[in-house]
Every structure is written in structure tokens, then in C-alpha cells.
Amino acid sequence: MTQTPKTEPMTRSQLLVAMAVTALVLMVIAKGWSYLLSVQIVPLRWQVDHFAIGIGLGVGVALLSTLVYEYWEAYREAAKEYLEMVLKPLNLVDLIWLGLLPGMSEELLFRGVAIPGLGMNMVALIVSSVVFGALHMASIKHIPYTIWATIVGLLLGSVTLATGNLLPAIVAHVFTNSLSGLLWKLRHPQLSS
């Protein structure tokens, strides 16, 4: 029986470059989709109340994720492996990039372009959320993490549909990624670089 060789974990530099390249690719896809199919992008408008909604949603998702982590063993196993792969090489200051790069690019594509491009309705919300969840599946073992990411996509898409503004979803995503990364780093100092 042959054993599958284990791949080497990414270095900090490799991970940061991968995040930046992924963000760039997602933004190009979003802008291309918008341009080629004349999709009206959900506007990004500064509004204090929408910013506050984003912060509240971001804190809520991060805290709920912590509860799900504690009580759903399959999710805990999948999240631990996925988050260790992504977070272990990063320094605390890198958590800013972990928030900003995916938070802005994924929200532009999945909430800003996909939802209006698919009809700005419940079908668009569900389809964009399922694809968003699938983007977070690094392997078949990560299905519970993918389910969680799909649920988060539904929440982010719902707030986008409710407000007609991309700001709350971006703020929530940036805040969730950064706060979840910080909580993971604090909980697992022995796994941090």
C-alpha cells in the first residue's frame, strides 16, 4: 500500500502571496462579470448604521463560530486542520491582511456581483452562498467547515439584500476573519509561528 505524501505547509510569505493573488483573481472575476454581463454591482456606501451592523454581525459570527467549534466535533476537526493550515504561518499583524484581502474581494464577487447577477433574490442568495462555501473546502475532510462557510455566506448575503449596501458584509467579513484568527492564535499559541 502506498502512502500519500504529505505536502509541506506554506510559509508565511507563500500564504500572504496566495491570499493577495486569490484576492486579485476574485476581483478580476467580479469586475469582468459585471462588465461583460452588465451587472449592476451592489453599491458600497458609507453609513454609520450599516458599519455598526457589520461590526455586530462580525462579532456575532466570530462568537457563534467559537460555540460551533466547541460543540460540533466534526466542525472542530475540519476547522482545526483548515485554520492551522491558514493561520499557523501568520504573525499577529498579518491578521489585518487575513481580514482585508478575502473580506473585500470575496464580498465584491459573492455579494456585490453574484447576488445581483443571479437576480437579487433568494435563489441568488442561496447559489452565491453555496459557491462561497465551496471556495472554503480545501479537501473532502473540510465539509463541515464548508457548511459553516455557506451559513456565513447566507448571513452576509442576507444583510446585503436587506441594506442594499455592500458595506455591512465587507465590515462583517473583515472583522470575522481578523477576530477569529486572533482568537485561534490566542487559543493555540503552541501552533503559532
pLDDT in tens, 144-184: 999 999 999 999 999 999 999 999 999 999 999 999 999 98
- Does a structural domain hold residue 107? yes
- Does a structural domain hold residue 162? yes
- Does a structural domain hold residue 128? yes
- Does a structural domain hold residue 24? no
Residues 6+ apart with CB under 8 A from 156: 57, 107, 110, 111, 169, 172, 173
CA-based diameter of the chain, in Å? Answer: 60
Full-model pTM = 0.92
Domain count, the chain: 1
What is the extent of the structural domain holding 110?
44-191
Residues 6+ apart with CB under 8 A from 88: 9, 191, 192, 193
- Does a structural domain hold residue 34? no
- Does a structural domain hold residue 52? yes
- Does a structural domain hold residue 75? yes
Amino acid at 171: V
- Does a structural domain hold residue 171? yes
